[in-house]
Amino acid sequence: MKPAPEYRPEDYPTPPAAERIFGERLPLAEAYHRSLATDGFTRGFIGPRELPRLWDRHILNCAVIAEAMPEGCSVADIGSGAGLPGIPLAIARPDLRMWLIEPLLKRSVYLRSVVEELHLDNVQVIRGRAEEKSVRSAVAPVDVVTSRAVAPLGKLTRWSLPLARRGGAMIAMKGSSVGEEIERDAADIRNAGGEKPEILHVGEGLLEQPTTLVRIRRHAERAR
């Protein structure tokens, strides 16, 4: 493993938006930032060029998706990696019940250590892939399935919607080309039982660059 860099808080000042987003749970977000910048870097989850951008590009960018989450809902984060978006979301919204789904051992071990160290009682870590029957039986059905940079939209829909309850939704972080993905993968979305996709922008007034989401609801009724 790479040696951990010296962590000096003054090198990574907490943005004013972080306090508005996390409120009294800001110390947990700061502890997670420190973990990503040290342990996450050492384990190879975070590259050196990302260290100065951890707050804006990663933690806050993920936390604002809380705006799209209903009160008290259950959420599965598939392909959670180093905990993005699941950990920032769980910190910002302790009312949510979270499952972090991650297939790789070293990442799932890291996620469990973060959950334990931050005492995130609303979070469970599941090692596996979203499409595996064992994962679906352990997690599904949830109200919302979320993800970040996991797969093209069509494939992502096939993995996500089976975990969502009927009438639930997948809410995925996407880039500016999401409209093209929606058009390209329309057939896959329909075949997976998805309704018409919606494009959402969250974090406006908080982030310099708002986060783009696509929300696809699962049909409430079985197709006849």
Tell me how far apart the alpha carbons of residues 80 and 146 are, in angstroms, rounded to a whole number.
Answer: 9
104 assigned ligand-binding residue: no
Tell me how far apart the alpha carbons of residues 99 and 220 are, in angstroms, rounded to a whole number.
Answer: 22
Q: Taking CA 68 as the corner, what is the angle to CA 25 and CA 18, rounded to the nearest 5 degrees?
A: 30
102 assigned ligand-binding residue: no
Total count of residues recorded for the chain: 224
128 assigned ligand-binding residue: no
Residue partners of 173: CB distance under 8 A and separation at least 6: 61, 62, 65, 85, 146, 147, 148, 149, 211, 212, 213
Retrieve residue 191's tokens. 């075949």
The one-letter amino acid code at 133 reads: K
117 assigned ligand-binding residue: no
Residues 193-199: contacts with CB under 8 Å, at least 24 apart: 193/161, 193/218, 193/219, 193/223, 194/157, 194/161, 194/170, 194/218, 194/219, 195/219
131 assigned ligand-binding residue: yes
Angle between helices 105-117 and 26-35 (to 10 degrees): 150
Q: Which residues are annotated as a binding site for S-adenosyl-L-methionine?
A: 79, 84, 130-131, 148
Q: Which residues are annotated as a binding site?
A: 79, 84, 130-131, 148
